[in-house]
Structure 1
Amino acid sequence: MTSEFTDFHCHLLPALDDGAVNLRESLSMARTLSSFGFATVHCTPHLIRGGYENEPARVIRAVQLMQRRLDDEGIHLRLVPGNEHYLDQYLPEMLPTALRAGNSRYLLVEVPFHSGPELLRPMVQTLASHGLAPLIAHPERCSAFDPARARGGLWGALAMVLGNEPEPQIDEGSEIVELKRLGCRFQGNLGSFAGYYGYEVRERALLFLRHGLYSCFGSDAHRGEKLWEMLTAGYAVVESVLGEAGTRELLRGTLLANGA
């Protein structure tokens, strides 16, 4: 593949969080990402108070050091400093100095996997007051966006999995559609389409894809092992739905750059 894609979510930097454990693994991941077709990688280690204290200055320094090493190794990737900001009570105080997704107004935000939607709309308003908008990481992995919520919670989910209901749809008034209207954008994981996180996540990812909810993709790569297989399998699934042109548009980040 030609190098033209942008990875908006990657744990490439060594020994900062639960991503690459050392420089050797970072270099292995970088070679795989470059070979796949990524030209730009947003390095987004977790920023969680009391967990991963990856403040912007620390990430910027790590990116500078890693970029020099990639250049020395002849690995053609442009690294961009960022964070995966955890949505909790500490997020508002981080906003004045937060690392955005490149030069955009978007801030990569991780919604707690088992949270409800009550956290989300206040987040949009808080970010907007700082001239920012949320880029929500892998919404397909978050129960807040599960279409089964509108179909009776656990029973609805079981019915969908067992095939006792028609294929789920997303209502125009659903939380994820309303959040997109309010300015949120959504980043999908290629691994979700490959089944990397299980059947239910894969089905939600496909549902969101068919409804045009994603603005960009990321590898969310944490390890070098089987990274190539995950990327190529995810790409093939997306391409089977959108075709080559649509898939490449999402992988380039064109929609996010245009605010779509």
Structure 2
Amino acid sequence: MISIFQKNKYLSDYLEGFTDFHNHILPGIDDGAATIQDSLDIIKEFGEIGVKNFVATPHVMGEFYPNEPGTIKNALSILKKEIPENVAISASGEYMMDQFLIEQLENENVTPLVDKKVLVEMSYFQAPINLNEILFKLQNSSFQPILAHPERYAFFHTRDLAKYEDLKERGCTFQLNMLSLTPHYGGNMQKVAYKLLETNMIDFISSDAHKVAHLEKIKNIKLSKKQGKLIEPVIEKSKALFS
């Protein structure tokens, strides 16, 4: 029970009814869970913070993880046979904005998170040269791009956030990683995360969990009253995606 005199809350205090829609819990198809037991261990840790609903999003990346609907559905089917009855899981992907994504769009092989929303990412080293073309092709296929962890793209870090504003104008919404509320990825990533929150540029939040250690850190995220006020509407909007 939380005391009425308590100034800080845990992030998990806000997560009742939350669906985690960015994670790597399907076994054996990317750099997340390697085995079914790994998947079950991660799901169990999620349960410790009250999260029991998931959309699994394995990497879809032409050069390293060329997953297609078939490989993803197979891993999902295997995992579904082992999960507890009170856990609900579906699957989409975290789509690298590369040539492979363009091919998957042309072949109608892109699976949305929900409705027509698609989780996309880019390299941490540089934006794709044809970024605008890819965004156009996504939207021309009636997909709505959700950019994963925008706070982690150092090449977008400018004082005036102009590059983020340009992406917003091009129809992107933004998904913050839970661990970016901490120095997990580096102090600068944490600083930009809060700057994006303070300027109302973050639309959604999710875990991007790859392993149990990530959940152990998420479980211990404390928020000040001010931070809670920034995060709560983002969490509520994230919940509304699946309501």
TM range (shorter): 0.7 to 0.9
Higher relative contact order (CA 8 A, sep 6+): 2
Is the 2:98–2:128 contact (alpha carbons within 8 Å) kept by the matching residues of 1? no
Deviations, residues 70-115 of structure 1 (Å, cap 9, x unaligned): 13xx5x322121111111122111122201112x222111111111
Residue aligning to 1:180: 168
Q: Which amino acid aligns with 1:120?
A: L
The change in CA–CA distance for 1:179 and 1:90 in structure 2 (over 3 A counts) is same
Is the 1:238–1:247 contact (alpha carbons within 8 Å) kept by the matching residues of 2? no
The change in CA–CA distance for 1:226 and 1:135 in structure 2 (over 3 A counts) is closer
Q: How does 1:208-227 map to 2 (within 5 A)?
A: 208-227=196-215
Q: Give the Å deviation of 1:242.
A: 4.0
| Bigger helix fraction | 1
Residue aligning to 1:110: 121
**How much is the aligned-residue C-alpha RMSD, in angstroms?**
2.3
Residue aligning to 1:247: 231
Q: Which amino acid aligns with 2:167?
A: L
Is the 1:113–1:143 contact (alpha carbons within 8 Å) kept by the matching residues of 2? yes
Structure 1 unaligned runs (5+)?
Answer: 148-167
Q: Give the TM-score normalised by structure 1.
A: 0.79
Give the one of 62, 68, 89 matched to 1:55.
68
Distance 2:76 2:226 in 1: 35
Q: How does 1:1-260 map to 2 (within 5 A)?
A: 1=13, 3-71=16-84, 74=85, 76-95=86-105, 96-102=108-114, 104-116=115-127, 118-147=129-158, 168-170=159-161, 174-233=162-221, 236-237=222-223, 240-243=226-229, 247-254=231-238, 257=241
Distance 1:203 1:56 in 2: 36
Q: Give the TM-score normalised by structure 2.
A: 0.84
Q: Give the Å deviation of 1:226.
A: 5.0
Q: Which amino acid aligns with 1:92?
A: I
- 135-144 or 115-124: which moved more? 115-124
The change in CA–CA distance for 1:254 and 1:220 in structure 2 (over 3 A counts) is closer
- Identity between Structure 1 and Structure 2 (%): 26
